[in-house]
C-alpha cells in the first residue's frame, strides 16, 4: 500500500500550530510590563471608553459565559486526500477515505485550557498492517495539530481578549486617521543594549492591532522571537455582536525571507448550542498545499 500523502497536511498542521502558539505567546504581557509608566488620566479614560465600546461590539464569552465545548468532528477526507496529492486520484484513495471516515473523532476545547482530541479507529482490537497503522497515526497527528492551531487562533477573538487588549497594562492606544492603533510597549531597544551580555534578552514579543473608527479589527501583527504573524480578520453580525468568520494569515518564521512566508485562509460557520455560538464548520486552506474541511456536530457546551 502506498503511503497516503499526509506530509502536505502535516505542513499545514505545523504552520497552524506554530501560528497559534505564536499568538498565544504574543498575547501575554510583554516582559517588564509590570514596570511600565502609569497612564495619564486622559489616556486611561480613552482606553476605558474604547474597551467598553469593543465589549459591546463583539460577541464573546464575556456575554455568553462560554467556558468549553465538545463536538464530534467529521473531516472531509476525500477532499483532504485529493488536495494533498495535488494530482490525479488513485484507486486506493476511496478505501483510505472510507477507513478514515470510520474513525470516531471527538474534540474537547476549553477557552482557558487549550484543546484535546479523542481519536478512536474502528475495530482497534483487530490486527492491521503496519502501513495502515502508520497512515492512521499520521492522519491523527495532522488533524490534532491542525485543530489545535486553529483554535489557538480562534480563542483570543471570542474569549473577550480583543476588547480587553484596549485597556491592558503594557498596551499603548493612539488615535489614527483611520481609527485606532493598539500596540504593546516594547522594551527590545533597551534590551538590545545588553545583547552582548545576554543575546536572548533582545528577543521580545509585540502585538499591534489596527481598528477602524467603529472599532472593527482590520489587521493585527504579532512578533515573537523573530517570527512574524500578520492576520486580516473578517467578522459576521450576530444578535450578540460581531463574531469572527475567518481570516487570511501570513506566517514568516524567524530568519526566513518575506518570500517564504506561509499563507493560509481559515473560515468558520456557526451553530447555536444552548444559546451559545460555537463552530459548526472549519475550513483551512494553504494554497498549493492542502484544503481541509471539518464539520462539527453532536456538540455540548459548558457555560457559567
Confidence band (pLDDT; 50, 70, 90) for 215? very high
| Cα–Cα distance, 116 to 60 (Å, whole number) | 22
> Which residue shows C-alpha cell 469572527?
244
Between 84 and 1, residue with greater pLDDT: 84
Q: Which of the given ranges, 34-38, 103-107, 137-141, 153-157, has the highest pLDDT on average?
A: 103-107
| Cα–Cα distance, 13 to 65 (Å, whole number) | 29
Given this model, what pLDDT does residue 3 score? 47
Within-domain flag for 196: yes
Within-domain flag for 35: no
| Cα–Cα distance, 116 to 300 (Å, whole number) | 15
Given this model, what pLDDT does residue 71 score? 98
Q: What is the mean pLDDT of residues 66-92?
A: 88
The residue range of the domain holding 157 is 7-29+56-303
Number of domains, the chain: 1
Within-domain flag for 119: yes
The answer to whether residue 87 scores a pLDDT higher than 90 is no
| Cα–Cα distance, 227 to 97 (Å, whole number) | 36
The answer to whether residue 33 scores a pLDDT higher than 70 is no
* CA torsion through residues 78, 75, 273, 237, sign: negative
Q: Give the list of residues 6+ apart from residue 292 with CB closer than 8 angstroms, or none.
A: 9, 12, 75, 76, 79, 80, 83, 146, 283, 284, 285
| Cα–Cα distance, 270 to 147 (Å, whole number) | 16
Confidence band (pLDDT; 50, 70, 90) for 1? very low
Within-domain flag for 43: no
Within-domain flag for 38: no
Given this model, what pLDDT does residue 253 score? 80
Cell numbers found for residue 211: 481598528
Given this model, what pLDDT does residue 2 score? 44
Within-domain flag for 51: no
Confidence band (pLDDT; 50, 70, 90) for 169? confident
Q: What is the mean pLDDT of the chain?
A: 81
Q: Which of the given ranges, 26-35, 62-71, 82-91, has the highest pLDDT on average?
A: 62-71
Given this model, what pLDDT does residue 124 score? 65
Q: Supply the Cα-derived Rg of the chain in whole angstroms.
A: 21
CB neighbour burial string for 95-133, b if at least 16 within 10 angstroms, e if fewer: ebbebbeebebebebebeeebebebebeeeeeeeeeebe
The answer to whether residue 284 scores a pLDDT higher than 60 is yes
> Which residue shows C-alpha cell 534590551?
191
Total-model pTM: 0.81
Within-domain flag for 97: yes
How confident is the model over 100-147, as pLDDT tens digits?
999 999 999 999 888 999 999 987 666 678 888 888 999 999 999 999
Given this model, what pLDDT does residue 105 score? 98
- Of the candidates 77, 75, 74, the one whose C-alpha atom is nearest the C-alpha of residue 93 is 77
Q: Average the pLDDT over each of 78-82, 149-153, 167-171, 234-238 and give the range with the smallest value.
A: 167-171
Within-domain flag for 136: yes
Amino acid at each position: 500500500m502506498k503511503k497516503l500523502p499526509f506530509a502536505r497536511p502535516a505542513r499545514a498542521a505545523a504552520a497552524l500550530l506554530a501560528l497559534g502558539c505564536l499568538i498565544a505567546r504574543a498575547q501575554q504581557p510583554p516582559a517588564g510590563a509590570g514596570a511600565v509608566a502609569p497612564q495619564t488620566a486622559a489616556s486611561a479614560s480613552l482606553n476605558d471608553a474604547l474597551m467598553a465600546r469593543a465589549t459591546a461590539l463583539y460577541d464573546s464569552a464575556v456575554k455568553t459565559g462560554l467556558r468549553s465545548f465538545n463536538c464530534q468532528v467529521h473531516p472531509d477526507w476525500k477532499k483532504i486526500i485529493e488536495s494533498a496529492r495535488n494530482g490525479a486520484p488513485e484507486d486506493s484513495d476511496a478505501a483510505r477515505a472510507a477507513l478514515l471516515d470510520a474513525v470516531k473523532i471527538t474534540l474537547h476545547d476549553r477557552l482557558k485550557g487549550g484543546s484535546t482530541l479523542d481519536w478512536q479507529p474502528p475495530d482497534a482490537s483487530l490486527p492491521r498492517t503496519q502501513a495502515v497503522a502508520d497512515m492512521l497515526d499520521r492522519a491523527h497527528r495532522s488533524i490534532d495539530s491542525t485543530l489545535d492551531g486553529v483554535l489557538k487562533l480562534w480563542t483570543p477573538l471570542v474569549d473577550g481578549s480583543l476588547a480587553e487588549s484596549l485597556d491592558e497594562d503594557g498596551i499603548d492606544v493612539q488615535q489614527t486617521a483611520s481609527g485606532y492603533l493598539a500596540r504593546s510597549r516594547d522594551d527590545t531597544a533597551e534590551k538590545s543594549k545588553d545583547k552582548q551580555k545576554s543575546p536572548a534578552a533582545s528577543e521580545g514579543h509585540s502585538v499591534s492591532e489596527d481598528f477602524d473608527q467603529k472599532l472593527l479589527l482590520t489587521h493585527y501583527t504579532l512578533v515573537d522571537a523573530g517570527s512574524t504573524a500578520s492576520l486580516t480578520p473578517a467578522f459576521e453580525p450576530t444578535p450578540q455582536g460581531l463574531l469572527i468568520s475567518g481570516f487570511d494569515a501570513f506566517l514568516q518564521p524567524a530568519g526566513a525571507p518575506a518570500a517564504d512566508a506561509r499563507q493560509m485562509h481559515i473560515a468558520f460557520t456557526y451553530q447555536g448550542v444552548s444559546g451559545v455560538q460555537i463552530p459548526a464548520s472549519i475550513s483551512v486552506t494553504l494554497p498549493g498545499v492542502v484544503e481541509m474541511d471539518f464539520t462539527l456536530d453532536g456538540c455540548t457546551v459548558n457555560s457559567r
